[in-house]
Amino acid sequence: MSISLGIIKEGKVPSDQRVPLRPEQAVRLANKPYIENIKIQNDERRCFSNEEYRSQGLSLVDDIYDCDILLGVKEVPVDQLISGKTYFFFSHTIKEQEYNRPLLQAVINKKIRLIDYEVLTNDKGQRLIAFGRFAGMVGAHNAIWTYEHRHGNDSLPRLHSLQDYEAAQSIYNNRKLPAAKIVVTGGGRVAQGAVEVLKDMGAHQVDPKTFLSVETDRAIFTQLDCEDYAARKDGEKFDLNYFFNHPDEHKSIFEPYTRAADIFINGIYWDKRAPAFFSREKMRQNDFKIQVIADVTCDIAPDSSVPSTLRSSTIADPVYGYDPNTGEEIKPFNESGIDVMAVDNLPNELPRDASTAFGQQFLEHIADELEKPNSSILERATIAEDGKLGPHFTYLTSFLEG
């Protein structure tokens, strides 16, 4: 089996600078015996330049129609999809995201094999490849940036203005965080990335019980697992597997944190059957203390764990205000509003670091699956093939038909 592989130009607007493989990693893949060649589609906006790829002896081309497998990052615009190809990218369709129904319909009509990075898992269901750590890292940084900006301090630069995370760490070492209480939800890559940055910034971690009771003159944070923010409706003891299998039989117990935290960083994977953290009505109450919500999860209301996430925001314009009295968007940094940071491509603020880590995961866990005629890893992640939904995604039939 001999495979011709192409790294495509990112077509989504606003553009994304990330790549699935940095130049040196593309060369490593090109040296695999089952790879015939790798072509790089010209794109001047990438975090790794055309010249960096060319200097590694890789072919730069304008079109990639003759490649068998096409690697991207974000959703491919419908008019740029090539019929009959195998694509790898984040499609954002598996939760029945309304805005990407036309994309999935086009994939079916063009008989494309779509393999979604988000569902590339091992036999235990654990994800093998993700940008999550960097989403959490940037999300935490932006949460602090938003809080400081809200309080008149604009001294913290945005990560996208820096060369890499090492440059950010140098800045963290020479500044002090404001005395704020920060709650982080989740236990996966996203939450761990957020925790990493908060610690690097100098925030002190405490357990959830202490967080709710302590008054502090320094920045502190706590990290909540599922059992800290959800409980069974029937009063039985919380069981994680039961929560995953029956999220609709649970209620939110997050409310005490709305009265204690200044900043909320949301890093969970949310099932729409699960309870939201709080309601719009709760946000109108006088004891709702949270001023900044960094919703890294970024599910859009009303199907969301955070009802104030009215839309995604952008790296260029990352924050909007939410008026709890009207439930509508207002200008950010308004004392009467709550500031929402809901950028949906956060890792693109650290594109070189994020791409390097992502490419390493691809080489370690996915690359050798390409030559297997019956890879279970790829089969589980195949959303569509030959004009039909993949066997694990037939639940999308009604969504696909609209």
Angle between helices 189-201 and 132-150 (to 10 degrees): 50
Q: How far is Cα 356 from Cα 134, in angstroms, rounded to an integer?
A: 11
pLDDT tens digits, 58-69: 999 999 999 999
pLDDT digits (tens, 9 = 90+) for 109-140: 999 999 999 999 999 999 999 999 999 999 99
Q: Is 89 helix (H, G, I), strand (E, B) or coil?
A: coil
Distance between CA atoms of residues 151 and 170, nearest Å: 23
Q: Answer whether CATH 3.40.50.1820 is correct for domain 3-129+351-401.
A: no
Please say whether the beta carbons of 120 and 366 come within 8 A.
yes
**Enclosing H/E stretch for 103:** helix 101-109
Listed as own residue / partner, the contacts of 173-177 with beta carbons closer than 8 Å and 24 or more positions apart are: 176/202, 177/144, 177/201, 177/202, 177/203, 177/218, 177/219
Predicted local distance difference test score (pLDDT) of residue 15: 86
Give the whole-angstrom CA distance, residue 41 versus residue 54: 11
Residue with tokens 């935490």: 140
Could you state, in chain order, the average pLDDT of each consecutive group of 10 residues for the chain (402 residues)? 94 92 98 97 96 97 96 97 98 93 98 98 95 97 98 97 95 96 97 98 98 95 98 97 97 98 96 96 98 96 96 96 98 97 96 97 98 96 98 97 86
pLDDT of residue 198: 98
Q: How far apart are CA 359 and CA 21, in angstroms?
A: 5
Per CATH, the number for 132-349 is: 3.40.50.720
Would you say the CATH fold of 132-349 matches that of 3-129+351-401?
A: yes
What is the domain partition of the chain in residue ranges? 3-129+351-401, 132-349
72: left (phi over 0), alpha (psi -120 to 50) or beta: beta
pTM above 0.85, yes or no: yes
Provide the 10 A C-beta neighbour count for residue 33: 8
Alpha carbon 174 to its chain's center: 29
Half-sphere exposure of 339 (CA within 13 A, CB side): 24
Q: How far is CA 319 from CA 224, 231, 299, in A?
A: 24, 31, 15
CA distance linking residue 80 with residue 89, whole number of Å: 13
Query: Residue 14's pLDDT is what?
Result: 83
User: Alpha carbon 48 to chain centroid distance?
Assistant: 21
